Structures are given as C-alpha cells and as structure tokens.
Amino acid sequence: MNKHAYVVIMAGGIGSRFWPVSRTDKPKQFLDILNTGKTLIQHTYNRFCRFIRPENILVVTHHQYVPLVQQQLPDLPQANILAEPSRKNTAPCVAYASFRIYKRDPHANLIFAPADHLILEETLFVKTCLEALQFVNGRDALLTFGIKPTRPDTGYGYIQYEMQQSIDNIYKVKTFTEKPDLELAKTFLKSGDFLWNAGIFAWDVRRILDAFKQLQPEMFELFQTASDAMLTPDEPEVMEMTYAQCTNISIDYAIMEKAENVYVIPSEFGWSDLGTWNSAYENMPRDYLDNAVAARDVLIVDATRCMVHSSGHRLLVLQGLDNFIVVDTPDVLLICQKDREQEIKEYVAEVKRNIGEKYL
C-alpha cells in the first residue's frame, strides 16, 4: 500500500432527512439504515481499508460524536479522530484535516469522502480511487468524482466536463450546477457531458493548501496559525478558537467552483448518497409488492411500494397503504407519503418550534 495515500472520512453531519431514526445524538452515519448488520461509517471505513493503511485513515467529526466513532471503529487510532468544536460545513473540515496531514506527511495524496454514502460495486470503487490517487500525485489538480447519471434527478448537483480533453479518462471540469429543476435535469441527461456530483474528492495535500491560500486566504491563515498546535495537547483548545472565527461554507462553494485546476473522473460503482428515505428504499431488497422492510416483525396486508423501518421490538401491521414511508422508533412514529418526503425537514423544524428538542 502507498504510504503517502490517505483518506479523510467526513462524519459530522446530522442527517435530518432520516428523522426520526437519525437524531442529533446519533445521526445516520452511525446507524444501520439498510439493515445490513453494519453502520454506514463502518461500511465506509472497511471499504477504504482495502487499499489504504489503517493508520492513514482519519475521521473528522463533531466532538459530540467522538465516542461513537471510537465505539464503532475500534481499530482506528485515537489520534486519527479529529474533533470539530462546531459545525461549519465541509470547507473548514477539509482545511483542518489537510493541515493536520501536511504536518505529518507533506507528500501526502488525499481522498476526502462522506461517511454515509452507499457504494454497491466496491471493487470498481477501489479501482477508481487508485486511479484518482495516481492522477493527483504531484499534479496541480483538484479532482472530484462524478457519477454517470441514470435519470434526471433533481436531488443532486451536476458537473459538466470537457468531453474532448481527457487524461486517462479524467476530464477538465467546465461548470458546476446545484440541484436543478426537472426540465434542466432532463437537458443535462440528454447532453451527455454532465455527471452527478458525488462529493468525493482527491488531491495532493500541497495543492489543496495552495487553493485555500489563493481562494480562501482568511481560512488558510486561521488554520496555518493553528497548525502549530496540531498533534499537541493544545490542539482542542486552539481548534475551538479557530472554528469560532471560521466561515460556514462548503468545499464546493469555497474552492471547487472557483478553482481553475478542477478535474472529474466519471465513475460507475453503484453510488447513492443515501440522502433520503426514498434513496434507502431504492437500494434495499423489496418483496413482491415492492415493499422494502428494515424491521424485525412486520405483517403487511395489501400494502404496496412502502418503505418500512422499525428500531423497536413491537409488531407492525400495515394494511392498505400505498407508497408510504413508515418509520417506528420508541418515541416517534412517522407516516409520510413517499413523494412528500422532502417535507420531513420541515416537520423536524415544526417539532422543534412547537414541542422542543426532546424528539430531535
């Protein structure tokens, strides 16, 4: 295994669209959403262990979740868990981990990936990652993974690339587009030069730090100053002060959409960001009535196309439902039409306003 290859798993999100299973104290990356016997972060860690040395895998997470990471990834060295004092989106996360790794290995090549994505074709994923690491090694390039779209999905960002210019099946990026409406998504699909943005990145550590210095100079200076305390007992205190001054911004907005040296590797490895209950439904086995069930005891009578999840030990009986999400937890029962699942975040906000944070 390449001693200069590193992976940073980003595991600080809340996953509110998977409420009421995903809660503030235990969000979806620490849950077995698909009823596989392993949590999403465990699948992610195991996937990268296939080609990255365990000591070169880091997890960045909110300080509240450090005990969960330790519990679920017992082989991960304690020093490889980076605790963010507050949630400031992915750009500070990338800056923190990059400066931390640069201090240890200035010749590092990095992959950054979310903790909660689904990858069905792991062998293809490993092959793509190795190609990505080889491409960015010593090259002035920021690389993102693009997924060949199979439908005009409005839930993903899109990447347009220069089809005529290729280096080992890796292309220069033309444009980024945030979640489009349906008609625009259909246009993107027909054009053939658009990919879904998977939110997985690769780069030489020196190139990403150069990009921060050029495009986010204030954030660069904050973390450069803080880097003296990294890998010392002063790190938590210094990072708290650093994050307090950080802008809340994604790595896409902060760097990728502004940089000139951005490339994309078209990929097909059975990817889903598992962002919603519908995406879980689409990636689970279904019965002859098209119901996906992640529960111990469920009796289904004349119910079709339902997503059923239960974390409790009681019997669920469904009769007559069509195209519903049914999620049963010890203190919350959610019954929602599948085609209105985007409103779940609104329900969570309303619960917070009218009932408080007890159920969040």
CA pair distance 85, 235, nearest whole angstrom: 11
pLDDT at 315 over 80: yes
Q: What is the pLDDT of residue 168?
A: 82
Nearest Cα neighbor of 183 from 171, 195, 191, 175 is 191
- The DSSP output letter for 21 is T
CA pair distance 10, 32, nearest whole angstrom: 17
Residue 80 pLDDT grade (very low, low, confident, very high; cuts 50, 70, 90): very high
Q: What is the pLDDT of residue 50?
A: 94
Nearest Cα neighbor of 148 from 271, 280, 281, 251 is 271
Nearest Cα neighbor of 197 from 171, 169, 178, 181 is 178
Can you list the domains of the chain with their CATH numbers? 5-272 (3.90.550.10), 277-354 (no CATH)
How far is residue 263 from each of residues 33, 45, 139, measured CA to CA in Å? 32, 25, 11
Q: What is the pLDDT of residue 152?
A: 83
Give the residue with greater pLDDT, 251 vs 276: 251
Q: Provide the token pair at 209.
A: 């730090």
Across the strands, what pairs with 272?
118
Sign of CA dihedral 14, 112, 190, 161: positive
CA pair distance 49, 44, nearest whole angstrom: 9
CA pair distance 206, 208, nearest whole angstrom: 6
Q: What is the pLDDT of residue 119?
A: 94
Sign of CA dihedral 161, 166, 171, 175: negative
Across the strands, what pairs with 101?
none
CA pair distance 211, 141, nearest whole angstrom: 10
DSSP 286-350: --TT--EEESSSEEEES-BS-EEEE-SSS-EEEES-BSEEEEE-SS-EEEEEGGGGGGHHHHHHH
- The DSSP output letter for 253 is I
pLDDT digits (tens, 9 = 90+) for 266-303: 999 999 888 889 988 988 899 999 999 988 889 999 99
- The DSSP output letter for 148 is P
pLDDT at 223 over 80: yes
Sign of CA dihedral 42, 5, 90, 88: positive
Residue 16 pLDDT grade (very low, low, confident, very high; cuts 50, 70, 90): confident
CA pair distance 335, 324, nearest whole angstrom: 7
Q: What is the pLDDT of residue 356?
A: 86
Whether omega before 180 lies within 30 degrees of 0, making that bond cis, reads no
Query: For residues 184-220, b (16+ Cβ closer than 10 Å) or e, as one string?
Result: ebeebeeeeebbbbbbbbbbbbbbbbbbbeebbeebb
Nearest Cα neighbor of 90 from 39, 157, 45 is 157
pLDDT digits (tens, 9 = 90+) for 86-96: 999 999 999 99
Residue 211 pLDDT grade (very low, low, confident, very high; cuts 50, 70, 90): very high
Q: What is the pLDDT of residue 154?
A: 79
Name the residue type at position 338.
K
Helix axes 40-49, 122-136, angle to 10 degrees: 60
Q: What is the pLDDT of residue 155?
A: 80
Give the residue with greater pLDDT, 10 vs 352: 10
Q: What is the pLDDT of residue 301?
A: 92
Percent of the chain's residues with pLDDT above 70: 100
Query: Model's pTM, two decimal places?
Result: 0.92
- The DSSP output letter for 64 is G
CA pair distance 150, 59, nearest whole angstrom: 31
**Which residues of 36-116 form beta strands (DSSP E)?**
57-62, 81-84, 109-114
CB neighbourhood size of 277 (10 A):
24
pLDDT digits (tens, 9 = 90+) for 284-293: 899 999 999 9
